[in-house]
Amino acid sequence: MTVVGLGLCILFLLLSDAAATRQVKGELRRNLFANGIGLTPPMGWNSWNHFQCNIEEKLIRETADAMVSTGLAAVGYQYINLDDCWAELNRDSKGNLVPKSSTFPSGIKALADYVHSKGLKLGIYSDAGTQTCSKTMPGSLGHEEQDAKTFASWGIDYLKYDNCYNTGTSPKERYPVMSKALLNSGRLIYFSLCEWGQEDPATWAPKIGNSWRTTGDIVDNWESMTSRADENDKWASYAAPGGWNDPDMLEVGNGGMTIEEYRAHFSIWALSKAPLLIGCDIRAMDNITFSLLTNTDVIAVNQDKLGVQGKKVKKDGDLEVWAGPLSNNRKAVVLWNRSPSTATLTAYWSDIGLNPTNVVNAHDLWTHWTQSAVKEKLSAKIESHACKMYVLTLQ
Ligand code: GAL
């Protein structure tokens, strides 16, 4: 073969590989992370948003108990994830991470056994740097193999891997080391990258992890929640079964937003195929929080097997239409009034990828009422900061 022929051949292979990688419409992409898990976004709970560093084993056990007794587990929430502050500041003489004896006296293995006995999974947290963000425990940089083996030996199912106190090298160099270590650990561990979207992780993390934060930390208010949703939206085309964009954990139930704002937060996270990680105290949540978090129609959109991230498809000032395809030719649609007053929002079929002649049944996922034989457009009068969410099925 001539040099030109060889060059053309290589170019062809590169282009076809790029095309395969972009072919995300619900089929497993090539180049996805090799652990084969996370085929739908993870659902569970994480300690950080509500408790920050105030965690101890009794709280985690009680949270696992509440996950089951409230019915959250029955609708799909399964991970109980420890965030920062679970370990001693120093490693032991062999370089192992040590659970903090004042707060986790029984150790993490015993905690994992307890969580598993409830039919749930246990997640843990570390950092691709010398210390975690709280500065109260060591990071895993330079200890990746050892720490991954420790996590596997304890029965850990999920690792959130943060980015504080790194040595200034790119996350593209540091995160693959832990990814490989987890694959070699002998246990299937979901890998959640948390480099805050700094180096556009959607473009490189699908090969090494199951989800990647696209944003800085969420705060329990409208401004923070909406800006996280928008930043995450930019990366929609990179999400697929096995690898998800992560706009940070849920604040639903923490008290800083209105019910309608929390309903929109949950609806948009579900449509965006975001990890649904509850961030409130589920031992003491009120009925409204519970009913938002357990809307099985909304959860079904998030967990739909097609795995295509819905996105913002129309914006008229603060009046927005978000939509995405679901399995069996259905569409999920959110009409979201981000303006300060009540308004009428409309999604035309052309906005949401339907043919102008299509006739649909529109199921309202929050009122549970179905409008039949809808043509051309879907309209609704919606309060300030509230949303409506539908699944459209072709007639
Ligand atoms: C941040 C991270 C948060 C939380 C916190 C713990 O970097 O984004 O989600 O994990 O560290 O210190």
Instruction: Please tell me the residue having the least CA distance from ligand 1 atom 9.
Output: 217
- DSSP of 337-390: E-SSS-EEEEEEGGGGT--TT-EEEEEETTT--EEEEEESEEEEEE-TT-EEEE
Report pLDDT for 23: 42
CB atoms inside a 10 Å sphere around CB 219: 16
Interacting residues of 160 by C-beta distance below 8 A, sequence separation 6+: 46, 81, 83, 123, 124, 125, 126, 192, 194
Catalytic residue, from 217, 230, 297, 351: name it. Answer: 217
Report pLDDT for 32: 85
Locate tokens 């459209």: which residue?
392
Ligand 1 atom showing the smallest separation from residue 160 Cα: 10
65 is catalytic: no
Encode pLDDT of 68-101 as tens digits: 999 999 999 999 999 999 999 999 999 999 999 9
297 is catalytic: no
Catalytic residue, from 83, 157, 162, 248: name it. Answer: 162
Ligand 1 atom showing the smallest separation from residue 132 Cα: 12
Ligand 1 atom showing the smallest separation from residue 213 Cα: 8
> What average pLDDT does this structure show over 208-223?
98
**206 CA to centre of ligand 1 in angstroms:** 21
Q: CA–CA distance from 115 to each of 109, 118, 147, 192, 368 (Å)?
A: 10, 5, 20, 20, 34
Encode pLDDT of 342-351 as tens digits: 999 999 999 9
Report pLDDT for 31: 67
Q: Are strands 387-394 and 359-364 parallel, antiparallel or unpaired?
A: antiparallel
In this structure, are residues 98 and 104 in contact, taking their beta carbons and an 8 Å threshold?
no
Locate tokens 């031992």: which residue?
283
**147 CA to centre of ligand 1 in angstroms:** 19
Residue 81's H or E segment, with its range, is strand 79-81
Sheet arrangement for strand 244-246: 244-246, 211-213, 190-193, 158-162, 121-127, 79-81, 43-46, 276-278
Share the mean pLDDT of the chain: 94
**241 CA to centre of ligand 1 in angstroms:** 25
Encode pLDDT of 91-141 as tens digits: 999 999 999 999 999 999 999 999 999 999 999 999 999 999 999 999 999
Report pLDDT for 34: 87
In this structure, are residues 25 and 306 in contact, taking their beta carbons and an 8 Å threshold?
yes
As for ligand 1, residues whose beta carbon falls within 6 Å of it are: 48, 83-84, 132-134, 162, 164, 194, 196, 217
Q: CA–CA distance from 307 to each of 124, 249, 288 (Å)?
A: 25, 19, 28
Residue 110's H or E segment, with its range, is helix 107-117
Locate tokens 């357990």: which residue?
294
**133 CA to centre of ligand 1 in angstroms:** 6
**93 CA to centre of ligand 1 in angstroms:** 27
Which sign does the torsion angle of CA 341, 363, 306, 355 carry?
negative
Name the residue of 51, 194, 196 to mutate for ligand 1: max ligand atoms within 8 A of Cβ. Answer: 194
Instruction: Please tell me the residue having the least CA distance from ligand 1 atom 8.
Output: 217
Encode pLDDT of 244-260 as tens digits: 999 999 999 999 999 99
Encode pLDDT of 296-342 as tens digits: 999 999 999 999 999 999 999 999 999 999 999 999 999 999 999 99
Identify the residue with better confidence: 17 or 367.
367
Q: Is the pLDDT of residue 370 over 50?
A: yes
Tell me if residue 290 falls in helix, strand or coil: helix
**217 CA to centre of ligand 1 in angstroms:** 7
Report pLDDT for 22: 40
Encode pLDDT of 12-71 as tens digits: 444 433 333 444 444 445 468 989 999 999 999 999 999 999 999 999 999 999 999 999
Name the residue of 45, 48, 54, 211 to mutate for ligand 1: max ligand atoms within 8 A of Cβ. Answer: 48
Residue 299's H or E segment, with its range, is helix 296-302
How far apart CA 191 and CA 211 sit, in angstroms, is 7
